[in-house]
Structure 1
Amino acid sequence: MTDGALLDRHDAVLLDLDGTVYHGVRPIPHAAEAIGRARDRGTSIRFVTNNASKAPEAVAEHLKSLGVVAEPGEVLTSAQAAARVLRDHLPEGAAVLVVGAGSLAAEVDGGGLRSVRKADAGVAAVVQGHSPKTGWADLAEACVAIREGALWVACNADATLPTERGLLPGNGAMVAALKAATDRAPIVAGKPEPPLFRTAAESARATAPLVVGDRLDTDIAGAVAAGVDSLVVLTGVATPVSLLAAIPAERPRYLAADLTGLDGKADELEIGPRPGWRAEARDGELVVTRDGGHDGLDLLRALCDAAWRHGVTTVRAGDGQAATALGDLGLG
């Protein structure tokens, strides 16, 4: 194809789930349709999630219930990544204390290790993943094992989890509690570490994958660490304010409002100077003026480019129309 479409550049889309495709049990508008159109173009789809509380089969069923075509083999979870890390460090049959859902225990057992729930003698490792049922007693068992020298692997370190009720405590919040109690830090298996994305790309036999997500510190940072392009969407955690302040390790190549961006043209989605808007650094501020532009996301793309180049995140409108556009972005 030669229309300059974003998906002309990429042979697979590696999609985050929470905050990108859905919020808990609530689908994000237009997501299912956009994913379907990407499939119709012949682009491979992989669902890459830091949520370790569900098995790939359950994740695929949940996606199907929201109208998204998905097969278990297209789902890559941080539980799978954690199980791989454990296998790399432990002998076959080693006991692993599981803090998390039954699906995490199943990944441990399926990899030739032995899942347990108590910190008895002989526990070689602790693996920790998100589960809404995790309580103090579970953390206490893990604390004992970690203090006795067990290897500690966390599926992810996401402090929050996007849901239909807003941001709630994620696995990282529970990991932080154990870090405070043990003075230890875990090996993190999922995003933003690159192995999960690399495994997903390998499963799709992709040479030019595109990571799509809503979190700079996991989705985008993981893409940067893996050396692949990324598209950030504004349906979850990332905001215009956080994008302007993004450090180099968390900067996406492309920006879109939602997954309909997969239908767009690459050059139009790419962060950089945009026609219709001017963002100039003056005395420690970015002064924005309108030069015929109307698209607020184009303004944000231009602002991100200027902020990252000049190290300036304070924004000021240079005219009334720019002030209105900045207000709409929450950057007034």
Structure 2
Amino acid sequence: MGEPGRTRPSGSARALSVAYDTALLDLDGVVYAGGKAIPHAVDALAAARAGGMHLAYVTNNALRTPDAVALHLTELGVPAESADVVTSAQAVARLIADQVPAGARVLVVGGEGLRVALGERGLVPVESADDDPAAVVQGYGGPELAWGRFAEACYAIARGVPWFASNTDLTIPSARGIAPGNGAAVEVVRIATGAEPQVAGKPLPPMHRETVLRTGAERPLVVGDRLDTDVEGAFNGGVDSLLVLTGVTDPAQLLAARPEHRPTYVDADLRGLLTGQPEVSDDAGTFGCRGWRAFVREGALELEGEGEALDGLRALCAAVWTDAGQGTSRLEAAKVLDRLGW
């Protein structure tokens, strides 16, 4: 498990790309959004790779195959091979293969990524509950996934067929905003059947196992934009994490993070891999980061000083996380974040 009592972001005297041997990078909201590279991502990853850091791309999105993901990354200017990509489809396929007979049929509610991953495990994808499946697997299938696919899953699950889900992310970032993710689709089947799936993706152990098996990382750093998948997954796996603010999580959500959702480091974007991280000091409950000082007094969150907004956020994290449960209000946090431009 990760550090259970984290009350402030950590510092690092060395660049993170030097301190860790492998970056386990989420994709949506970290490297790209809506198919386009996030600003600074391409150059930052190239510099990290040139410095000797191994880059692996770990995604809960089960729609695309590793080959397709690697090709997309390469087209964006981030050279990658399929072996550099780890998906929740691969994790759930291994989870299913451990529980059903070799060569078993699996009813697929999702996209090509799931079908290819099942095939790698010697399992046979089928389309209908009438095809005598040994399992049902559900993964993100894109906006075109037909409603009838959910019905097929429900028919099979009602007969007692075990149900698996690649992941349960409720949302997924897109070029136009936040869209429903596989978790929203899983809720449809859960409501209709009353059943509960076995889930493989981040933040759960099957995904961490898949990542370690495929990358061989010894000093990994999880890099993501989500508290409930990337950061919690790192916590569950007992490894460090870097949260980047280019995707789903905003500063207000970061301040409100539960202990298992508190990242080791926080930075604006992937350029954070190339630098050290500033220390956050504690002087009798006043937390300092470079030019900023943050503290909580009688439930009121205060911020003093000047400098980079990100350093102010780091100091605020320390003040609020230390004060967790003592009455710091969301309104107070919003007021202070407004001062920083968030």
Q: TM-score, normalised by structure 2?
A: 0.89
Say if 2:342 is the partner of 1:327.
no
1:32-47 matched pairs, under 5 angstroms:
32-47=42-57
> How far apart are 1:8 and its partner, in Å?
2.5
User: What is the alpha-carbon distance in structure 1 between the residues aligned to residue 281 and residue 209 of structure 2?
Assistant: 23
1:138 alignment partner in structure 2 = 149
2:122 alignment partner in structure 1 = 112
User: What is the alpha-carbon distance in structure 2 between the residues aligned to residue 22 and residue 100 of structure 1?
Assistant: 22
1:274 alignment partner in structure 2 = 289
> How far apart are 1:204 and its partner, in Å?
2.9
Q: 1:63 aligns with which of 73, 80, 86?
A: 73
C-alpha contact (below 8 Å) 1:6/1:265 kept by paired residues: yes
Aligned CA distance change for structure 1 residues 47 and 270 (closer, same or farther; 3 Å): farther
Say if 2:315 is the partner of 1:302.
yes
Say if 2:214 is the partner of 1:199.
no
Amino acid corresponding to residue 301 of structure 2 in structure 1: L
| Structure 1: gaps (5+ residues) | 318-322
Say if 2:272 is the partner of 1:261.
yes
1:221 alignment partner in structure 2 = 232
C-alpha contact (below 8 Å) 1:253/1:270 kept by paired residues: no
C-alpha contact (below 8 Å) 2:18/2:53 kept by paired residues: no
C-alpha contact (below 8 Å) 1:215/1:238 kept by paired residues: yes
Say if 2:304 is the partner of 1:289.
yes
| Structure 2: gaps (5+ residues) | 1-11
Amino acid corresponding to residue 327 of structure 1 in structure 2: R
Q: Secondary structure at the match of 2:135?
A: strand
Q: Secondary structure at the match of 1:120?
A: helix
> How far apart are 1:270 and its partner, in Å?
11
1:49-90 Cα shifts (integer Å, max 9, x gaps): 011110000000111111111111000011000100001111
Q: 1:188 aligns with which of 188, 199, 205?
A: 199
1:247 alignment partner in structure 2 = 258
Aligned CA distance change for structure 1 residues 102 and 202 (closer, same or farther; 3 Å): closer
C-alpha contact (below 8 Å) 2:190/2:196 kept by paired residues: yes
Amino acid corresponding to residue 174 of structure 2 in structure 1: T
1:72 alignment partner in structure 2 = 82
User: What is the alpha-carbon distance in structure 1 between the residues aligned to residue 69 and residue 131 of structure 2?
Assistant: 34
Amino acid corresponding to residue 299 of structure 1 in structure 2: G
> Which segment drifts farther, 233-242 or 188-197?
188-197
Q: TM-score, normalised by structure 1?
A: 0.92
Q: 1:85 aligns with which of 77, 83, 95?
A: 95
1:185-212 Cα shifts (integer Å, max 9, x gaps): 1111111113323432343322110000
User: What is the alpha-carbon distance in structure 1 between the residues aligned to residue 117 and residue 164 of structure 2?
Assistant: 13
> How far apart are 1:313 and its partner, in Å?
4.1
Percent of aligned pairs sharing the same letter: 48
User: What is the alpha-carbon distance in structure 2 between the residues aligned to residue 246 and residue 17 of structure 1?
Assistant: 22
> How far apart are 1:325 and its partner, in Å?
6.4
C-alpha contact (below 8 Å) 1:201/1:209 kept by paired residues: no
C-alpha contact (below 8 Å) 1:255/1:270 kept by paired residues: no
